[in-house]
Amino acid sequence: MRRLVSETRLDPAELVLPLFVREGVAAPVPIASMPGVVQHSLESLPQAVADAAAAGVGGVMLFGVPEVRDARGSGATDPDGILNVATRVAVEASAGRLVVQTDLCLDEFTDHGHCGVLDDRGRVDNDATLERYRAMALEQARAGSELLGLSGMMDGQVAAVRDALDDQGRTDVAILAYSAKYASAFYGPFRDAVESTLEGDRRSYQLDPGNRREGLREALIDIEEGADVVMVKPAGSYLDVLADVAAASEIPVWAYQVSGEYAMVEAAAAHGWIDRKRAVIESVRGIRRAGADAVLTYWAVELAGWIRNGDLA
């Protein structure tokens, strides 16, 4: 009876697995603050993509961890940069079974760790960054990325990237806009995962956690600018924003269950303080219930296995 009247179903196709790929390592490197998650090597990446595809997961989102960083994030626009190489590897491994997506942001590639380039006073230069994003988008498209994840929170980034793609005839490449991305403490473990060099914070371009209307406004602007999917991030602490965006949007709405959300459950479970499996399922179900059409989650493959086995009790 409960199954028959359930309002929120889970489907592996509505899960996206974030994957980290590190340059210059021979074997996967564990991430201390994200137990069970690794930085992949180029060699271990194909199997991870194949496992996700076999589990029925809808897509993978790739993040690169380069060996060398500089002020303008040159590695992001280098066809031989780690993220672009990894994209080619993932596209081959996926063989069309899932959607290969890429993080389009400079923070992994800049030595100062910001999501954009800086002006001569050390402030993030929004419009100069858009030029970098345009170039980055074209390289990612050439590498075979099918969905570009614009996570940098620069104003006008969706319009700029859409224009750059269309100008080169790449109308086939879609845009996932991290529209309502909040300046959050829950990104902490991710910054370990990508070995972030950030000093200071991102509050001048990411949203203030107290602002609900602004999250909706950012999503509506991105839809106007040509986004194909809009996203709310983090997920668990922003379910009201997610519900607002889901109610207003005519395009798919996704949510990112971020590294800190993952780490909290894993840490509590490791202490025996929480039922890990039930907490994982409930956390993702809650995000779907609030209105997410799909969820980026580090548990994507494991959760997909439970769903397929009908093991969600």
What amino acid positions are annotated as catalytic residues? Answer: 181, 233
Asked if 105 touches ligand PBG (CB under 6 A), the answer is yes
Q: Which is nearer to ligand PBG, 94 or 257 (CB)?
A: 257
Shortest spacing between CB 231 and ligand PBG, in angstroms: 10
Q: Are 231 and 256 in contact (CB under 8 A)?
A: yes
Region near ligand PBG per CB under 6 A, out of 67-75, 125-133, 184-192, 285-293: 184-192
Burial (CB count <10 Å: 0-12, 13-18, 19+), residue 188: middle
Q: Are 141 and 91 in contact (CB under 8 A)?
A: no
Q: What share of the chain is helix, strand, coil (3-state, %, to 5)?
A: 40, 20, 40
- With b meaning 16 or more CB within 10 Å and e meaning fewer, what string describes 116-131? bbbeeeeebbbeebbe
Region near ligand PBG per CB under 6 A, out of 122-130, 167-175, 186-194, 280-288: 186-194
Q: Are 285 and 14 in contact (CB under 8 A)?
A: no
Give the closest residue to 241 by CA, choosing from 214, 260, 261: 214
Strands, DSSP E only, in 66-207? 99-104, 147-150, 174-181
Q: Which is nearer to ligand PBG, 187 or 299 (CB)?
A: 187
Asked if 107 touches ligand PBG (CB under 6 A), the answer is yes
Asked if 151 touches ligand PBG (CB under 6 A), the answer is yes
Shortest spacing between CB 236 and ligand PBG, in angstroms: 12
Asked if 20 touches ligand PBG (CB under 6 A), the answer is no
Site mask for ligand PBG (CB under 6 A), range 273-292, x = bound: --------------------
Q: Which is nearer to ligand PBG, 100 or 105 (CB)?
A: 105
Asked if 258 touches ligand PBG (CB under 6 A), the answer is yes
Residues 240 and 234: their CA atoms lie apart, in Å, by 12
Give the closest residue to 214 by CA, choosing from 238, 236, 235: 238
Q: Which is nearer to ligand PBG, 264 or 312 (CB)?
A: 264
Among 20, 109, 133, 187, binds ligand PBG (CB under 6 A): 187
Q: Are strands 29-30 and 38-40 parallel, antiparallel or unpaired?
A: antiparallel
Task: Name which of residues 202 to 221 contact ligand PBG (CB under 6 A).
Answer: 202
Residues 12 and 15: their CA atoms lie apart, in Å, by 5
For ligand PBG (CB under 6 A), the number of binding residues is 10
Q: Which residues are paired to 19 by β-bridges? A: 62
Asked if 150 touches ligand PBG (CB under 6 A), the answer is no
Residues 195 and 34: their CA atoms lie apart, in Å, by 13
Q: Which is nearer to ligand PBG, 107 or 146 (CB)?
A: 107
Give the closest residue to 111 by CA, choosing from 206, 198, 22: 198
Q: Which is nearer to ligand PBG, 183 or 268 (CB)?
A: 183
Region near ligand PBG per CB under 6 A, out of 49-57, 101-109, 132-140, 265-273: 101-109
Asked if 190 touches ligand PBG (CB under 6 A), the answer is yes
Backbone torsions φ then ψ of 138, nearest 5 degrees: -65, -40
Region near ligand PBG per CB under 6 A, out of 76-84, 100-108, 116-124, 245-253: 100-108
Chain residues in the site for ligand PBG (CB under 6 A): 103, 105, 107, 151, 187, 190-191, 202, 258-259
